[in-house]
Structure 1
């Protein structure tokens, strides 16, 4: 067979069964560590939860001290309330700790984790080229200087890239199309996985995160030509021939690349197939605690409940939970996971839309942490949120909010120094010290971040096991900021 024929046969095998085969192609090129003993210090995993569209952090976590009056005054009809409504779109605010802070009512499922010091908040974080004040922004915003301000502020696609890149500018940067999760995985030899398709976050210089499907997916059925356990002679002969072609020596880089991709896909299917296939309805005993957590009912509205497994994010985290529970089979002592949910671009009808989104987020995270706690893995796993940007403090005329900059993020896990708040919550004043607006018509409450994505990521990666040289390589602008450890993670 000539090279073109071989490549055509390989492409046909990998293209079998349509979309499922695309996953297998990704399997072969992913950053998947070989089975190995857990790293020194025990197993650890980071779970990045990307909230596409720009979550409204100002209605996610609300100060209930003297600042609440300012919050109510500007937010108007979007302000969360201490009084109840049957749909629980505005109230009652879920009071935390001593009552100085409150959660959106649809995040009620997360309150127990804050009360037990396993949920922390990082305020006013976002992409920064360097520490930036309002005066700096006024002087720099017309310069288009990448050394001063991040590129394309307030743009969804650009800010999503910067959050996942971990730099304030990608044009002309050595970072380019890689993400801070992918770069970190390569530096500390961690395994990187995505249950949300391809992402910038998991891209490294030599490979991408391993893209995996949702619950119930039969990976072994996606490569019809590979059937090592088949008892039917014709099928076994085809399968053996495919394996033989992969093993054949060749000096041609096209042949060797295709063989590497196929071999990696075969190995991943063999190791992960049973883990990914399991669902609550299959009642696999090894995942009983995970099934129970993800099928438990949580309150949404006063007369309605939902389970984590009924949501897309819940099913993604269900897969993550099984992978973590089966970490000895998955291999490696350090894992990085990426999951996502969309819909956070709430320009209109925000009260209704945001309530539904936060139900999904809160219930999914609560179920995930419940499963980790039951398995005694909660101190080994940290989940954290990312999002394009915050949203304007001042509502728009459509009952929504518009694109902003700095935002609040959640950090959840037994290793978090929770029950606490980190960073600097913005001054809730239009045209105040944190507002990018220079002219009065620009006073919308688009907060200039006081903490950078670099600092946020570095604090998480240090806990995962990255050293100072690793952090400097992953976040080349980290040295511009006063501290690389924000304190929200334990040792």
Structure 2
């Protein structure tokens, strides 16, 4: 684990100057890059089918996989083998294979919400009676909260991204290019939610171009005056600080956020990296647009202040209960989602490399849960538990991590015992807490901070890091 050194006076000054002009800060960029780190969370809403994301290729396990998966089994020859391992990526993720070959992609097997390490015997004996079994398993809304909050409290009000921003005293809240997710919430802050390229950011009618009209200028002055008044409650003061920060940032970031590929002032290095996804001056996919925005913001990172930042992006549509293969398992419904994911991640990584930030940014996936190993009667898969996730970046120690489940319905990793419940819903062998702690440890979080951010982490003893960074 790398721990960052105390912030120097010069860096503090750079952070304090963060709301100055973008151009004036350009010389600081390279100086700050050396000690800059950012995490980018990509949440796959609906529950991505990890069983078809990373597939075993050795004869025994591929045979077990193909037999159970039947019509949803990917042909062995279509898989993109990961180096010299016995596993391959879904062919739709082909854009990520070069990153694995370069040692910049890690696969974390069978991770999910856990209160503490849990065996099948313990799970069957507990039957939800104690904290040992996470609440509301297999439910979208609850499991999204458990992943985004890194807790086993489905009522958790805060996300682990938001708690991290607070505990590490980051200069900016979680920066979301993918809407107002639970991940970015802290006790007193919400994420900074930014729109896509081409969209305006700021109060309607109160942008730089609008306030030439006297009534608008007076309106803006009045709002600023209200936001500057202190209150006798912490919550009101926190809200006012957010208002002030939002106004300053909208003035600062508005033109950058709105800029589309090829427009005046756009960064050619970023545009070139995203070229495979650009059509007629627009980034053509949902996740591509979000990560294009993240790349632009990382390029001007000093504007947002601080040398640690956390980003949130997301892609929906993964609740594939029916017709998961679509017209073809290699290029149909689930494949199209994975292609959008893989292509956007590859373009984003290329942009980071061009910006000299490849080592400074780590991107990782999260999702509601895995899906059943056994398909259902509608040609789809149902809600499960443990899942396989991807982590990429220049600081990543490429490879396969964790324990791949035994591919046996009713086996040691399947929650089911009776025939009707033998569906291959894997009990996780690594927790969301350990996954988050590995990422945050790389960011420089101390053990005390990790325990504060991730209350269940102590239940895993010395196994606090999963080793992929």
1:401-444 deviation line (CA, Å, top 9, x unaligned)? 111110000001000001x1001000011111101001122111
Contact in 1 for aligned 2:364/2:391 (Cα 8 Å): yes
Tell me, in whole angstroms, the C-alpha distance in 2 between the residues paired with 1:238 and 1:268.
18
Contact in 1 for aligned 2:277/2:285 (Cα 8 Å): no
Aligned equivalent of 1:6: none
Aligned equivalent of 1:81: 75
Contact in 1 for aligned 2:162/2:190 (Cα 8 Å): yes
Question: Could you tell me which of 191, 199, 202 is aligned with 2:181?
Answer: 199
Contact in 1 for aligned 2:158/2:185 (Cα 8 Å): yes
1:147-205 deviation line (CA, Å, top 9, x unaligned)? x110000011100000011111245xxxx300111111111122311122211111111
Tell me, in whole angstroms, the C-alpha distance in 2 between the residues paired with 1:450 and 1:463.
22
Question: Could you tell me which of 351, 364, 373 is aligned with 1:384?
Answer: 364
Q: 1:247: how far off?
A: 4.1
Tell me, in whole angstroms, the C-alpha distance in 1 between the residues paired with 2:157 and 2:32.
28
Aligned equivalent of 1:15: none
Contact in 1 for aligned 2:262/2:281 (Cα 8 Å): no
Tell me, in whole angstroms, the C-alpha distance in 2 between the residues paired with 1:34 and 1:292.
32
Aligned equivalent of 2:23: none
Following superposition of structure 1 onto structure 2, how do residues 200-279 of structure 1 map, counting pairs within 5 Å?
200-220=182-202, 222-225=203-206, 227=208, 230-247=211-228, 259-279=240-260
Aligned equivalent of 1:19: none
Tell me, in whole angstroms, the C-alpha distance in 2 between the residues paired with 1:413 and 1:254.
37
2:147 aligned with 1:163:
yes
Q: 1:279: how far off?
A: 0.8
Length-normalised TM-score, structure 2: 0.87
Gaps of 5+ in 1: 1-32, 84-91, 299-304
CA RMSD of aligned residues (A): 2.6
Question: Could you tell me which of 446, 449, 456 is aligned with 1:477?
Answer: 456
Higher mean alpha-carbon deviation, 260-269 vs 51-60, is at 260-269
Q: 1:232: how far off?
A: 4.7
Contact in 1 for aligned 2:112/2:430 (Cα 8 Å): yes
Aligned equivalent of 2:379: 399
Tell me, in whole angstroms, the C-alpha distance in 2 between the residues paired with 1:39 and 1:485.
27
Higher mean alpha-carbon deviation, 257-266 vs 423-432, is at 257-266
Higher mean alpha-carbon deviation, 471-480 vs 249-258, is at 249-258
Q: 1:340: how far off?
A: 0.6
Tell me, in whole angstroms, the C-alpha distance in 1 between the residues paired with 2:235 and 2:455.
34
Aligned equivalent of 1:145: 130
Aligned equivalent of 1:21: none
1:71-103 deviation line (CA, Å, top 9, x unaligned)? 1111111111134xxxxxxxx111221152111
SS at match of 1:437: coil
Contact in 2 for aligned 1:178/1:201 (Cα 8 Å): yes
Following superposition of structure 1 onto structure 2, how do residues 18-417 of structure 1 map, counting pairs within 5 Å?
35=17, 42-65=35-58, 66-83=60-77, 92-98=78-84, 100-141=86-127, 143-146=128-131, 148-171=132-155, 176-190=156-170, 191=172, 192-220=174-202, 222-225=203-206, 227=208, 230-247=211-228, 259-285=240-266, 287-296=267-276, 309-351=283-325, 352-417=332-397
Tell me, in whole angstroms, the C-alpha distance in 2 between the residues paired with 1:479 and 1:380.
28
| CA shift in 2, pair 1:283/1:428, >3 Å | farther
Tell me, in whole angstroms, the C-alpha distance in 1 between the residues paired with 2:376 and 2:230.
64
Higher mean alpha-carbon deviation, 50-59 vs 192-201, is at 192-201
| CA shift in 2, pair 1:328/1:261, >3 Å | closer
Higher mean alpha-carbon deviation, 252-261 vs 355-364, is at 252-261
Q: 1:256: how far off?
A: 5.8
1:244-294 deviation line (CA, Å, top 9, x unaligned)? 454467769898677544322211112211221111041524x21111121
| CA shift in 2, pair 1:270/1:450, >3 Å | same
SS at match of 2:143: helix
Aligned equivalent of 1:463: 442
Tell me, in whole angstroms, the C-alpha distance in 2 between the residues paired with 1:102 and 1:257.
48
Following superposition of structure 1 onto structure 2, how do residues 430-469 of structure 1 map, counting pairs within 5 Å?
430-469=409-448
Q: 1:346: how far off?
A: 0.6
Tell me, in whole angstroms, the C-alpha distance in 1 between the residues paired with 2:277 and 2:194.
27
Aligned equivalent of 1:4: none
Contact in 2 for aligned 1:53/1:387 (Cα 8 Å): yes
Contact in 2 for aligned 1:227/1:236 (Cα 8 Å): no
Higher mean alpha-carbon deviation, 329-338 vs 407-416, is at 329-338
Q: 1:236: how far off?
A: 3.7
SS at match of 1:427: coil
Length-normalised TM-score, structure 1: 0.83
1:381-401 deviation line (CA, Å, top 9, x unaligned)? 000000111111111111111
Give aligned pairs, total.
Answer: 434
Q: 1:226: how far off?
A: 6.0
Tell me, in whole angstroms, the C-alpha distance in 1 between the residues paired with 2:235 and 2:358.
44
Tell me, in whole angstroms, the C-alpha distance in 1 between the residues paired with 2:209 and 2:88.
56
SS at match of 1:268: helix
Higher mean alpha-carbon deviation, 455-464 vs 233-242, is at 233-242
SS at match of 1:292: helix
| CA shift in 2, pair 1:145/1:464, >3 Å | same
Tell me, in whole angstroms, the C-alpha distance in 2 between the residues paired with 1:275 and 1:432.
53
